[in-house]
Homo-oligomer: A and B are copies of this chain.
Amino acid sequence: MTHRVRMADVAREAGVSLMTVSRVLNNKDDVSAETRQHVQNIIKQLGYRPSDIARGLVTRRTGAIGLVVPDVSNPYFSEVVRGAEHVAYAQNYSVLLCNTEEDPRRELAVLQSLEEKRVDGILLCSSRLSEEELEEAISRHPAAVLVNRRLEFADEQGSVGVVTLDDVAGGQMATQHLLDSGHRMIGFLAGPPTSHSGHGRMEGYSIAMTATGVTSFSRWIKPCAPTVEGGRASARELLSTYPELTALFCFNDLVAIGALQACGELGRAIPDDIAIVGFDDIPLAALVTPALTTCRTSRHELGTRAMELLLKRISGCTEACQEIVLPTELIVRDSAP
């Protein structure tokens, strides 16, 4: 690479000024059709590509969105990412992807890095930060949308958009399904204590249990890592301590699959000895044996709606539309018919 073609090269070659080239590039209408065509030919001939860097310095817009997720290789988030990316691309935004690896320190680090990159906005999924850290981080960015996490205090100021799942309703629906099948001793593998989704699902579980008159179920609630292995280990423990349990509601499908494995190891048949309900309906859920009953959540839609909201906010939309709650849907399969 000898020397990147600059706008000045195009201008010289075309025999016009920098401004004319700039106008052609930005589709300004005050350029004669003739000149425009000529300049476009030269651009193509020289293989010129404008520098977003130089442009960004003066326009203070980068056309980039920071997308922060705990872990792209988690199928849940990779679908959110894909949905978000799709919308961004359609509006000519690019996406800077950042994994936090569930580490709040790293989350702060990527947020700072995105600030230095001067992204036009951030999409923050399942943030593990404290309210204070979150408010600080958000205030430092031109626009922000939170996914799967709400801000208690800043909400009313409309400083941030929010897209969440109706975890409470989902948790309630899942638990009610088990109750309707006659189960009363229902354990809950609750996921990470820091997860807001987990709290919502637990609330739904509690509501359903209480409404049905089941009390003292709190000892049946056990936190766990949101993974197959986490579910397996916690299910073993919970079922060993409380063998009277006849059903398990799980934080997510991975945990539920871990529970499936644990039951296999403990020699407890599913769904006859014990029924299991997951959450999310990841593709895997339909493929394991027995197929998982679960609450379907549209991760893709979570991503698209969040990005749409963010881009709206970037464009200066100050209207209401700042909190979106997506419903979930119970999918009944073999693990809890």
Q: Does A135 contact B (CB under 8 A)?
A: no
Q: Does A199 contact B (CB under 8 A)?
A: no
Q: Are A53 and B50 in contact (CB under 8 A)?
A: no
Chain B min CB distance to A266 (Å): 18
Closest-by-CB residue of B relative to A139 is B1
Q: Does A38 contact B (CB under 8 A)?
A: no
Given A99-B85, A288-B287, CB of A53 within 8 Å of CB of B49: no
Give the distance in Å from the alpha carbon of A288 to the alpha carbon of B289 in the complex: 7
Chain A residues numbered 1-46 whose CB sits less than 8 Å from any CB in chain B: 1
Contacts of A195 in B (CB 8 A): none
Chain B min CB distance to A83 (Å): 9
Give the distance in Å from the alpha carbon of A287 to the alpha carbon of B75 in the complex: 15
Contacts of A95 in B (CB 8 A): 96-98
Chain A residues numbered 48-72 whose CB sits less than 8 Å from any CB in chain B: 49-54, 56-57, 62, 64, 67, 71-72
Q: Does A79 contact B (CB under 8 A)?
A: yes
Q: How large is the interface on A (under 10, 10 to 19, 20 to 34, 35 or more residues)?
A: 35 or more
Give the distance in Å from the alpha carbon of A50 to the alpha carbon of B47 in the complex: 32
Interface residue from B53, B98, B99, B288 paired with A56 (Cβ < 8 Å):
B53
Contacts of A113 in B (CB 8 A): 94
Stretch at the interface among A115-123, A146-154, A309-317: A115-123
Q: Are A118 and B53 in contact (CB under 8 A)?
A: yes
Q: Are B82 and A72 in contact (CB under 8 A)?
A: yes
Q: Does A140 contact B (CB under 8 A)?
A: yes
Chain B min CB distance to A54 (Å): 6
Given A53-B57, A53-B62, A94-B98, CB of A257 within 8 Å of CB of B73: no
Q: Are A257 and B53 in contact (CB under 8 A)?
A: no
Q: Does A284 contact B (CB under 8 A)?
A: yes
Chain A residues numbered 292-320 whose CB sits less than 8 Å from any CB in chain B: 300
- Tell which of A67, A78, A115 has the most Cβ of chain B within 10 Å: A78
Q: Other than A50-B116, A75-B78, give 15 A-B pairs with Cβ distance below 8 A.
A: A1-B142, A49-B116, A51-B57, A52-B118, A54-B57, A72-B81, A73-B78, A73-B79, A82-B99, A85-B98, A94-B96, A94-B117, A228-B283, A287-B287, A287-B288
